Amino acid sequence: MFKYLEGCSRVLVLGIGGGGDIFATIPTRNLLKKMGIEVYLGCVAWERFVLDPKPGPRPLEELVNIQELSETVCIGGPDTITEDGIKLQASHLSERLGEKVVLVDITKGVKRVAEGLDEALSKLGASLVIGIDSGGDVLARGSEKNLRSPLCDSVMLASLHYMRNRNFLGVFASGCDGELSIEEVLTYISEIASTGGYLGAYGMAREDAEMLEALVNGMVSEVSKIALLSFKGFRGSVSIRDGLFKAEASIVSTLTFYLDTEKTYNRSPIAKAVSNSESILEASKELNKIGIRTELDLEIEAYRRRARSYRELLGRQI
């Protein structure tokens, strides 16, 4: 990992699995700042339907109080909301942390996201992106029985693959989103390591935990809260998503594993499946073609049924 960081004075640390993943960037942010590197934090502009009932990620055109850096990337702050009044989790973090945040629009297709990120880095004076995923579903192959939100991660992995600027991945709180099991995550990381794609790991320190706890207070980001429980010594199952699913917590949940983007992309059939998609709907349909239901499918159904909780939407199916 340190080889990637050589010569970097400014880095974008980006949550790649949706709005809540911005909290997963905190340990990496703090590590870089200790090394004297200036850090921008960011995430994809996509909140879960329990926060934002409109299905899918938000395009920049639907965000208010932003500064555009490119067609698909902008800077937001505490007052950034959607045009219909939804405050993003990144905006809450911005308010609490006292820093601007970077927001990524993935509605316009993989290659336009990659181009937008490259343009944004140039304007920010940054030379590296670290894409952080909560839970580890960015590693999914598509056959995992509990996989429920593969779309955002796969689009972002494919976008990072196409970027001209350097980048690598981080997986925080492995297995804590109840999708991939900890065994699946560690198996996939080991497979990537066997090809030379493992770059190291960072364990959350006490100051990271204290900052993260203050930032996620009152937020819906369950993964980061489970990581905090793990930091305090909890080990075992935790109920998530209105008690419908289980996640496994252990001290491993406090680690961020860093991985080479290309080695990870090469082992991702779902990232490859969406790599030529020109919109988020097209990307979702590409995954549907190979038998994968996406979080966009779920959100469209929730909107149709006017469901505002996982229990309302899925209770009868579980």
Give residue 170's pLDDT. Answer: 98
- Residues 196, 260 contacting (CB under 8 angstroms): yes
Q: Mean pLDDT for the chain? A: 96
- Where do runs of H (alpha helix) occur along the chain? 2-5, 26-34, 89-97, 110-124, 151-162, 182-193, 206-216, 222-231, 261-266, 269-274, 280-289, 295-305, 310-314
State the DSSP code for 14.
E
Helices (H) and strands (E) in the chain, counts: 13, 13
Q: Which two tokens stand for residue 55?
A: 């299905």
As a whole number of Å, the end-to-end CA separation of the chain is: 41
pLDDT for 318? 44
What is the total residue count of the chain?
318
> Which DSSP state fits 135?
T
pLDDT in tens, 245-303: 999 999 999 999 999 999 999 999 999 999 999 999 999 999 999 999 999 999 999 99
pLDDT of residue 1: 81
The predicted pLDDT at position 317 comes to 52
Q: Which residues of 291-311 are buried (b: 16+ CB within 10 A; e: fewer)?
A: ebbbbbbbbbebeeeebeebe
Which pair of tokens denotes residue 275?
């790599």
Percentage of the chain beyond pLDDT 90 is 92
Q: Could you read off the pLDDT tens digit of each residue along the chain, which spans 318 residues?
A: 888 888 899 999 999 999 999 999 999 999 999 999 999 999 999 999 999 999 999 999 999 999 999 999 999 999 999 999 999 999 999 999 999 999 999 999 999 999 999 999 999 999 999 999 999 999 999 999 999 999 999 999 999 999 999 999 999 999 999 999 999 999 999 999 999 999 999 999 999 999 999 999 999 889 999 999 999 999 999 999 888 899 999 999 999 999 999 999 999 999 999 999 999 999 999 999 999 999 999 999 999 999 989 888 887 554
318: its two tokens: 């579980």
- Distance CA(154)–CA(134), nearest Å, equals 13
Res 6: pLDDT: 86
Domains of the chain, by residue range, sit at 2-314
